[in-house]
Amino acid sequence: MEPIIVIGSGLAGYSVIRELRKLDREVPVMLLSRDSGDYYSKPMLSNAFAQGKGAAALVQTSVVEMAKQLGITVRSHTEVHGIDVAAKRLTTTQGEPRYSRLVLAIGADPIRIPLQGDAADAVMSVNDIADYAHLREAMQGAKRIAIMGGGLIGCEFANDWAAAGFIVSVIDPGSYPLASLMPQQAGSQLRAPLAAIGVDWRFGTSVSRVDSAATGYTLTLADGSQLQADIVLSAIGLRPRIALAQTAGLAVNRGIKVDTHLRSSDPAIFALGDCAEIEGRVQPFVLPIMHAARALAKTLAGEDTAVVFPAMPVVVKTPTHPVAVLPVARDAVGVWQTLASGNGIKMAFLDAADRISGFVLTGEFAAERSEMTKRVGTPLAATGKADNIVAAESS
């Protein structure tokens, strides 16, 4: 019997194997990893510096121990170049293994925008533990850090580094932080608290050039202004890795297209995690990955199971001003209503039937995450004043 092959050793890949082993200890499983295959928590990369954690300290379980615990074969530092769907065979840097079923958990790549300047190639991104190790090395002696992008990852890094004493500038073409997750009233709540610990916000512009300077780099922004930095980090988002699937003839869109059973256009190939587009939606956060892994494990074990996603709020790791958000789809129809404000804000997104289908909690209200999650799907009378209600935007 050919093994189930899982490509990718991140949260998605290891989680589906863990869940499968709860159901079946005997089915052969092979994991292919482009890096070492050590297990670590990727979300920790954006808030590890202030905790004094180097790359080695983030590794929770070595690849050797993971293979032993799960009873699997692991091929580390293995690049997969092709999938022969007819022969159920892979082309890799370590041979051509065959599979009975294939799970793609290959993640996403940082989005890189074209930049001018003689130091454009010096712009860094952090997408795995090797990137983090490189960044930690570069931060030795650094004082000024420029972050391109005011989204979730950019804000988490900004909070982490400003709290550690660095001078941090965040450059974003939008008008407020976390614009892809929440409305302006909520996103703007983050500006003052992070500014108070040293974050210099530069909204309404973007980086055009990165040039070498006597010390560090000179960034020229689209509005003509300049700033100096010792490190430049790009944190403007991730793009699902679809090239491998596309070359193999699988259906792709923003991600690898799969149904609610995580099955691709080839019945023997599945996908989950950052690379997958499940019924038209990319679900890149931890909780969706865990739910997808449990469902897929049952399917691989012989019980065809569709993934069902409950309400899954996202916690943004900005301890200076905590944020919890249950995002709504970009095309969602409804209104945002402010329920309370103070040292933070509490907002709910109401659909056409006046039911809560999303929420934002910041500052003192972030602790109400569990309570608000229980209220999702229940009606809420629209009693707020008109100026407290806005159309859904950028969410």
Domain-embedded: residue 95: yes
pTM of the predicted structure, to 2 decimals: 0.91
Same domain, 34 and 144: no
> Using CA atoms, how far apart are residues 40 and 58, in angstroms rounded to an integer?
6
Same domain, 103 and 116: no
Instruction: Determine contact, residues 73/31, Cβ cutoff 8 Å.
Output: yes
Q: What is the pLDDT of residues 8-44, one digit of tens each?
A: 999 999 999 999 999 999 999 999 999 999 999 998 8
> Using CA atoms, how far apart are residues 275 and 333, in angstroms rounded to an integer?
27
Where do we find the tokens 């939008």?
Answer: 174
At 63, which CATH number?
Answer: 3.50.50.60
pLDDT at 394 > cutoff 50: no
When mean pLDDT is compared across 136-145, 307-316, 379-388, the lowest value belongs to 379-388
> Using CA atoms, how far apart are residues 249 and 100, in angstroms rounded to an integer?
18
Q: What is the pLDDT of residues 215-266, one digit of tens each?
A: 999 999 999 999 999 999 999 999 999 999 999 999 999 999 999 999 999 9
Domain-embedded: residue 317: no
Of 202, 218, 234, the domain-final residue: 234
Q: What is the DSSP letter of 124?
A: B
Instruction: Determine contact, residues 134/45, Cβ cutoff 8 Å.
Output: no
Cα distances (Å, whole numbers) of residue 373 to 33, 50, 291, 327, 357: 36, 30, 16, 12, 9
Q: What's the total number of domains in the chain?
A: 3
- Radius of gyration of the chain from its Cα atoms, rounded to whole angstroms: 22
Domain-embedded: residue 211: yes
The stretch 360-375 carries a mean pLDDT of 96
Percent of the chain topping pLDDT 70: 96
> Using CA atoms, how far apart are residues 353 and 167, in angstroms rounded to an integer?
47
The whole domain housing 386 covers 322-390
> Using CA atoms, how far apart are residues 389 and 184, in angstroms rounded to an integer?
12
**Sign of dihedral through CA atoms 175, 330, 244, 314?**
positive
> Using CA atoms, how far apart are residues 153 and 117, in angstroms rounded to an integer?
25
Same domain, 27 and 66: yes
